Amino acid sequence: MLGCEASRLVSTVVSGTPRYRFAPSPTGYFHVGGARTALYNWILALQNDGVFVLRIEDTDESRNQPQWTQGIIDALAWVGINGDDPHFEGPYFQSANAAAHTAAAQKLHESGHAYYCDLTSEQIQERAKAAGKPGYDGYSRDRGLSGGPGRVLRFKVPAGITVVHDEVRGRVEFDNSTIEDFVLLRGNGSPVFIHANVVDDIQMGITNVVRAEEHLPNTPKQQMLWQALGHEPPVWAHVPVLVNEQRKKLSKRRDKVALEQYRAEGVVADAMVNYLMTLGWAPSGDTEIVDFARIVAEFRLASVNHSSAFFDVKKLNAFNGEYLRKMSSDEFVAACEPWLSGSAPSAPGVENSPSATPWPAERFDRSVFARIAPLVQTRVSLLSEVPAMIDFFFLADPAIDAAAFDKAFSAEWARPALRSIREQLVSVVWNVEAIKSVVELIGASLDVKLGKLQAPLRVATTGRSVGPPLFESLEVLGRDETLRRIDVALSRAG
Ligand code: GLU
């Protein structure tokens, strides 16, 4: 790579329908970076009334597994890239196109753009060592070998400069002398990624390749292939990588990268889409929280930042909290449903597996949840946080946090105060105002602030020191159960 020019390209005007594509390899969970690349392509296809082609690059048999392909399709559908939409085409499978890969390789051989080579990698290394220059030296260029087992097909890289026009990075120059004659077909006849990817793109009429920056070094090679095969190269765009807090590229081993994990934790799709789109790009105006239609209207590749973007999980969660609060109460109740019924999506490393509601299913009461949902809605940023916040409503005897209990009952006044509260609660009208005024009056008589006085009452009735607003919760919990729990706590406190 010689360098990038600062000036940006105006997108090439293509006659006919623009055709974008997303070409993942099904080798694992769906990476959030992949989701962002897919969204870019999808949004551009929608914006330009083009087509989004999904091509599954499944030719690496040792790493690909069918379940990952379904995972990709599900993940795309979740972020709104829906296989039934008229802009969507596919999925195509690269493995089904093997004959075209071979035919294109033959064509390149016949036209003199490629040649066979029988050197072993040891021989190549020896020659490189002797010449003091790493890489393959073009030894077989003019040997006129025919194809056969153990012979790789290599592309004859011409001298000169290759200029890649990239919609994100501008003009990028590569000196061809730094690019060795690269392999198209392995010794067993199978195509390498660079070759299969171009042959498929050509066959599928792709006009715009928007993909991860890590593929930029492949691009001069691929552009040469497009040209050698007699086609105008597509418009390229390489999207900067996502990095973690330490500014290191997000990695499967180190970071939480699977879209499925965020989904299982209860990030909602709209929040995820909006958040992914703010990584390296910003909508106009002073809020980043915007709806999808706005994103489709405003997104431009030319305004995507060149530098890597920090995937900030805290910010994603904050976005999600905003999306949860924007929902109507009914929408929120519906969104929580999978986490309350034990049918939440599962993902590795996420605890809320389908059978993991904290209460036995038969004790859950939807109408109770609908009453407390507004109290919860303003207090969570992930849907998976909801069950633990409300479990005391649906557990016969919620576990008591011993430390919180001891702390709440450490004050002299705590036991007598709770006893008095209990006595009063027996006869009041059971609603928030009355419950609150009982506690206020007793607080005033003991000269204890309301906040402090709530602590023993809260831990007695909910088992914890924090939770949704207490008086509202007790109203829903009901008088009998509230009194019963206070009695249990008073006998525990001794
Ligand atoms: N299968 C490649 C990948 O997953 C596709 C690269 C491309 O988009 O050209 O990285």
388 with 410, same domain?
no
Cβ–ligand 1 distance for 352 under 6 Å, the answer: no
282 with 355, same domain?
yes
Q: In the chain, how many domains are there?
A: 2
Atom of ligand 1 nearest to the CA of 211: 8
Confidence (pTM): 0.91
Distance 211 CA to ligand 1 centre (A): 7
Residue ending a domain, choose from 337, 368, 393? 393
DSSP H stretches of helix in 232-291: 259-265, 269-277
277 with 355, same domain?
yes
317 with 408, same domain?
no
Please give the angle made by the CA atoms of 109, 115 and 120, to the nearest 5 degrees.
Answer: 140
Residue ending a domain, choose from 374, 393, 412? 393
* Annotated catalytic residue, options 133, 248, 252, 449: 252
What would the pLDDT profile of 418-456 be if each residue is shown by its tens digit?
999 999 999 999 999 999 999 999 999 999 999 999 999
Among 52, 63, 215, 218, name the best residue to mutate to test ligand 1's pocket (greatest count of ligand atoms within 8 A of Cβ).
Answer: 215
Domain-embedded: residue 453: yes
Query: In the prediction, which pLDDT does 6 show?
Result: 29
Residues facing 114 on adjacent strands = 155
435 with 459, same domain?
yes
Query: In the prediction, which pLDDT does 7 show?
Result: 30
Query: In the prediction, which pLDDT does 4 show?
Result: 34
CATH of the domain at 431: 1.10.10.350
Residue ending a domain, choose from 359, 393, 427? 393
Helix (H, G, I), strand (E, B) or coil at 475: helix
Say if residues 332 and 440 touch (Cβ distance below 8 Å): no
For this structure, is 156 an active site residue?
A: no
- Domain containing 479: what range? 402-493
Query: In the prediction, which pLDDT does 349 show?
Result: 72
406 with 388, same domain?
no
Domain-embedded: residue 64: no
CATH of the domain at 359: 1.10.1160.10
388 with 406, same domain?
no
| C-alpha distances out from residue 23 to 11, 183, 272, 344, 348, Å | 21, 21, 21, 29, 24
CA dihedral (155, 156, 159, 160) positive or negative: negative
Cβ–ligand 1 distance for 24 under 6 Å, the answer: yes
Q: Whose CA is nearest to atom 4 of ligand 1?
A: 24
In whole angstroms, give the CA distance from residue 232 to residue 88: 24
Query: In the prediction, which pLDDT does 352 show?
Result: 57
Query: In the prediction, which pLDDT does 347 show?
Result: 82
- For residue 26, give every residue at least 6 positions away whose Cβ sits within 8 Å of its Cβ, in sequence order, or none: 56, 57, 58, 64, 65, 66, 68, 69, 71, 72
Q: Whose CA is nearest to atom 2 of ligand 1?
A: 24
Domain-embedded: residue 323: yes
3-state helix, strand, coil in the chain (%, to 5): 50, 10, 40
Maximal CA-CA distance, the chain: 103
307 with 384, same domain?
yes
In whole angstroms, give the CA distance from residue 226 to residue 207: 12
316 with 377, same domain?
yes
Query: In the prediction, which pLDDT does 318 show?
Result: 98
Distance 447 CA to ligand 1 centre (A): 68
Query: In the prediction, which pLDDT does 10 show?
Result: 31
Question: Which positions of the chain have pLDDT values less than 70?
Answer: 1-15, 351-355
